């Protein structure tokens, strides 16, 4: 029997019709930035020979219930163990003003899951790819780097799942880095390399 190649699903934060979700100056809009990053991640994974696709190709927002339905449909078809999900976002600490919080972090659902192993590979990649001195935001209370919460996209999908918060769009320094060519490339590469490493480890 032919072995099923694992499917990589890339989700992206929010949509063009989601209120807020942008830098205070409006230069970085999360829906647009994350869609561009997600599309590039998928493109590079496919070019490297992996099975990857976007969960939300639309520009308008798609409900969390529909996102989960799309992911679980793939899980039902291929088997949950043959699917990985990464949801790509930008972080924010406030509601429209410039803030001081900075850094990169990843989230999984509560408890020990395959998502924790996926997140750990992404953390390792982030430490390699982001500039020296970048704050890597962690929670080691359960022995690994990721933060944990019952976010819908993590809790209600059947596969290994991780949500990344890629710097703070309401921090001036983080925003400038995200919008730079160097920053965009680092965010793309940390996802591509982290996902490939997770697959290599058998996640």
| pLDDT tens-place string over residues 54-101 | 999 999 999 999 999 999 999 999 999 999 999 999 999 998 899 999
Domain extent listing, the chain = 7-16+25-93+100-200
Tokens (6 digits) for 107: 């989230």
Q: Judge: domain 7-16+25-93+100-200, CATH 3.40.50.12160.
A: no
- Give me 57's structure tokens: 């190709």
Going by the DSSP 8-state scheme, the letter that residue 29 receives in this structure is B
Give CA–CA dist 192/83, Å, rounded: 15
Three-class secondary structure of residue 32 per DSSP? helix
H/E run at residue 113: none
* Placement of tokens 């400038």 in the chain: 176
pLDDT, one tens digit per residue, over 16-60 is 988 889 999 999 999 999 999 999 999 999 999 999 999 999 999
Tens digits of per-residue pLDDT, 106-165?
999 999 999 999 999 999 999 999 999 999 999 999 999 999 999 999 999 999 999 999
């Amino acid at each position: 029997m032919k072995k099923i190649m694992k499917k990589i699903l890339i989700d992206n934060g929010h949509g063009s019709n989601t209120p807020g979700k942008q830098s205070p100056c409006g230069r970085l809009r999360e829906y647009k930035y994350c869609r561009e990053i997600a599309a590039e991640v998928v493109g590079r994974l496919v070019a490297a020979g992996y099975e990857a696709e976007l969960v939300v190709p639309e520009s308008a927002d798609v409900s969390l219930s529909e996102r989960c339905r799309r992911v679980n449909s793939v899980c039902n078809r291929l088997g949950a163990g043959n699917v990985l999900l990464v949801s790509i976002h930008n972080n924010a600490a406030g509601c429209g003003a410039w803030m001081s919080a900075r850094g990169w972090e990843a989230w999984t659902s509560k408890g020990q899951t395959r998502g924790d192993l996926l997140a750990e590979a992404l953390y390792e990649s982030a430490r390699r790819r982001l500039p020296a001195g970048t704050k890597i935001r962690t929670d080691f209370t359960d022995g690994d780097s990721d933060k944990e919460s019952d976010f819908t996209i993590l809790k209600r999908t059947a596969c290994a799942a991780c949500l990344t918060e890629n710097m703070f769009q309401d921090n001036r320094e983080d925003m400038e880095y995200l919008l730079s060519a160097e920053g965009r490339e680092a965010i793309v590469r940390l996802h591509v390399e982290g996902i490939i490493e997770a697959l290599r480890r058998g996640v």
